[in-house]
Structure 1
């Protein structure tokens, strides 16, 4: 096993986003579901329904060090100074951290916070000319450096607020595959930006991950074809993904990741309202994958954390609570019957 074998996020967790706009209610729900390491890993809830600045891009833009962004009709655009949009994003993040601190008094164990990763951010944040930062390699480097420093400060703040927590950082990278394949469209929509070299993409992720000393990093993507091997080489302690999107093409990469000590955060519970199967049914596919890979059943609970398939922002508040609780029950079923 690698050094990542020390990473123990617990049996279940959420992706990050929650419905509604009440920070205290979201924090109370999360903390009540994941009360300790035996049930799973609580997380800093994100509430995008509040509007620009609470969305994933705006929230992370507000964390950047010495870079600022504002809302334009086309999306978020980098600017020279912090304006009302940056201030609103920072205010909402502060409100969320306040609520987290309130409902995690005395908590000890892993605690997850989320932010957009450098490549999804570069594919979304616009430069002054209206093209995304991805169009300019120098802008990508500056953005990654600013993100790394901003995250370092953010994690230090959460660590002070919840002193018993072992902070885990999740980088959301839904656009990474599009970046690697040259599928990100230009501002005109008539062409796509050149594919980023995989070694450059890996090195940038490694640089951002490396700055977060003492905090394991999980990379999340609910898109198909997650690049498990690239993320593992970049230093990710865990990879979070929608289990339903896996194909047998992923088998070798997943097997290598598990044997290398990388934690799998498998999204097995639907992220939008609908009927929930019994807990044992939710993990049937995980057991099937394990047998197909020829991995030891004893490794299963050490290697796999269960999550919803993606964020819960589009769900009803009642369903979001049920989905998180279902992840905990499904993880218990997996532990009780690993075969």
Structure 2
């Protein structure tokens, strides 16, 4: 990872005292120094046995069951180092081709980069750099965001004047991407925790964007919804994050098998509640960073059985795999993270507010 080995060892050893296990400091130091002396395994060199042993048995078996033809590559990519990807702010454009203009700025700074395959405003760096080294980052010219997460904007089919809800919005990456992608929309960013909502505000200010921030549990409509329906809703639902393990390897230890059922019930509850706030004729995009169908396609399938007004709006895209109830992206070597998207349309004529 980015922390130098000597610094990680020192900080971990010092932390032993704060944890009340100071007598283990010599052992911790010895074990970590032994590990740091091992030769690094380059991407692609790890055997399947090493990959399999690095995952809890339940994750390995679940991925194997869900994706029998892809499971080993999914696990392998979960252990790989992800690329650093940027989203160019088209509202900050200094030319008619903002992405190419920003690529030129990167070249001037001798930062090697290339365009993303699927996101029209995505740029992937060949090597990660501190954000302070990115040209005009503080002024809002670009943001760090994985390519898969950027794809939500096109799926929403935004138009000027639309009233948009970004539910479970923190830290605000997709909130800002939506606002950058279409001028003249009215966006509400909703999150359940004030500390997380503060991150949304920080991102909005850096990018000079405006949104209405609300702090509430999304399913508790009476706490935050004013009764005025939305044209578009993005529900980036809380999930296992099993498709982004390479960015959060602690998931292997912190996530438990029993969590998936509880998360699935929450996801369906959120979808059912937020559906009430969508206009007839409106579009809701359901997203997760999970690899498990239990949190993805099966949620959409269950929801469609319950809602007569809900219609699956097929995603015709060159990315991901069609599951019958949305598209699943898998983590790619030197490419985007894993992600799931489904798009739903509400039948009926528009209602007056």
Smaller-chain TM-score range? 0.3 to 0.5
- Relative CO higher for 1 or 2, CA cutoff 8 Å, sep ≥ 6? 1
Q: In proportion to residue count, which structure has more helix?
A: 1
Q: Which structure has the bigger radius of gyration?
A: 2
